[in-house]
Amino acid sequence: MDLSYSAEDEAFRSEVRQWLGDNLSGDFAGVRGLGGTGRENEAHDERLAWDRHLAEHGWTCIGWPQEYGGRGLPLFQQVIFHEEYARADAPRRVNHFGEELIGPTLIAFGSAEQKQRFLPKIVAVEELWCQGYSEPGAGSDLANVSTKARLDGDEWVVDGQKIWTSLAQFADWCFVIARSEPGSTRHQGLSFLLVPMHQDGVDVRPIEQLTGDSEFNEVFFTAARTGKDLVVGAPGDGWSVAMGLLGYERGVSTIGQQVGFARELEKVVALAKDNGSYDDPLIRDRIVQARMGLDVMRLNALRTLSADEPGPGDASVSKLVWANWHRALGELAMAVAGPAGLLVESADPYRVSRLQSLFLFSRADTIYGGSNEVQRNIIAERVLGLPREPKG
């Protein structure tokens, strides 16, 4: 298996590095490092302006086919872009849900009109999206959603509650899974709807987190409306669309993040050298373990990318490994900080340090995008061929 980059890929890397170096300057010099783990609310307007600048220069949706406004770049070059992006300490992107999730889903499942209506505005970062899957009674068990949708003339009317809806406070649109066939159960009778957020029937209530940030929200739909044609796939067949989208969530979009992780580890090591904890053999051992974990993740990502077809469970293995690695990094950061890790930077207004934020937010890594237990179930059933979990 050849894990090296081609000369063409290396030339592409130089081009990306040069462009980012040239453009993260002047008006955008201050955006470096903004956003990120536990700090999604940070400098949203500045990051939005940066994302639009990327779009103007053709650096959004680089993996999408050219006919939909992308560059149609091969997977390795997409990874290179993400690596260089993180290496340059460029800010966290604001339209993950549009570019990485709903865009590819519309390309695969959307009607010609839906593609024409939505894709250009995702490429240009003119409309932001959020994901309305989870509900108080439906998380891992997504088929249990109780949000309802019914047709009223030319419109769908949506009623129900979503929760943990990341970045809903900035979103223009939400993709919602709702039960559209009364009396249906489980995977049947669900529809995948595109719902505008700016209307009276949508109420977004931020949930304040331990980091002090309000990255996610409760979203209430009360007779919210959307067009009859804004259902993706056939009405009642939303489950297959919803699962198709999760394939993107657990797939390519998480590759290439290791450079960002390496940067965080460097900060932890710098603190350890600064406060003397680097001399503690137990701390050094954990730092070595973390470095090795990074190498394992990188080799595993390259192995997966080199395969002709992704294997069943590849995305679950990758999610399980990075989520646990990252959570352990947060714990290591606090061990390195020692008693100082218990003190917030400011009590009023409440503000925690970047490493505290890393520790607190990384507790969620093993939950969102499919929890550890759910990933293990997938690996057990689809990779190891163990008996399927009994369903009640």
Ligand X SMILES: Cc1cc2nc3c(=O)[nH]c(=O)nc-3n(C[C@H](O)[C@H](O)[C@H](O)COP(=O)(O)OP(=O)(O)OC[C@H]3O[C@@H](n4cnc5c(N)ncnc54)[C@H](O)[C@@H]3O)c2cc1C
**Site residues, ligand X (CB under 6 A):** 130-134, 139-141, 164-166, 216, 364, 367-368, 371, 373-374, 377, 389
Nearest approach, Cβ of residue 137 and ligand X (Å): 8
> How many CB atoms within 10 Å of residue 267?
15
Helices (H) and strands (E) in the chain, counts: 12, 10
| Residue whose CB is less far from ligand X, 48 or 367 | 367
d(CA 149, CA 223): 9
> What's the Cα-to-Cα distance from 59 to each of 84, 108, 126, 305, rounded to whole Å?
12, 21, 14, 21
Nearest approach, Cβ of residue 235 and ligand X (Å): 21
d(CA 99, CA 103): 5
d(CA 119, CA 125): 10
Q: Which residue has the tokens 């959020």?
A: 130
Q: How far apart are the first and last CA of the chain?
A: 44
Rg of the chain over Cα atoms, rounded to whole angstroms, equals 22
CA quadruple 57, 63, 66, 68: dihedral positive or negative?
Answer: negative
Nearest approach, Cβ of residue 198 and ligand X (Å): 18
Closest CA to 159 of 151, 147, 150, 168: 147
| Residue whose CB is less far from ligand X, 77 or 253 | 253
Which residues is 149 bridged to in the sheet? 158
The closest residue (CB) to ligand X is: 139
| Residue whose CB is less far from ligand X, 10 or 141 | 141
Pair of tokens at residue 313: 């469970």
Nearest approach, Cβ of residue 44 and ligand X (Å): 16
Closest CA to 173 of 216, 118, 128, 224: 128
Q: What are phi and psi of 279, to 5 degrees?
A: -80, -10
Residues with a known catalytic role: 249
| Residue whose CB is less far from ligand X, 218 or 331 | 218
Strands 173-179 and 217-227, sheet pairing = unpaired
Nearest approach, Cβ of residue 220 and ligand X (Å): 14
| Residue whose CB is less far from ligand X, 73 or 246 | 246
Nearest approach, Cβ of residue 19 and ligand X (Å): 30
Look at the chain and count its residues.
392
| Residue whose CB is less far from ligand X, 165 or 357 | 165
Closest CA to 126 of 177, 61, 213: 61
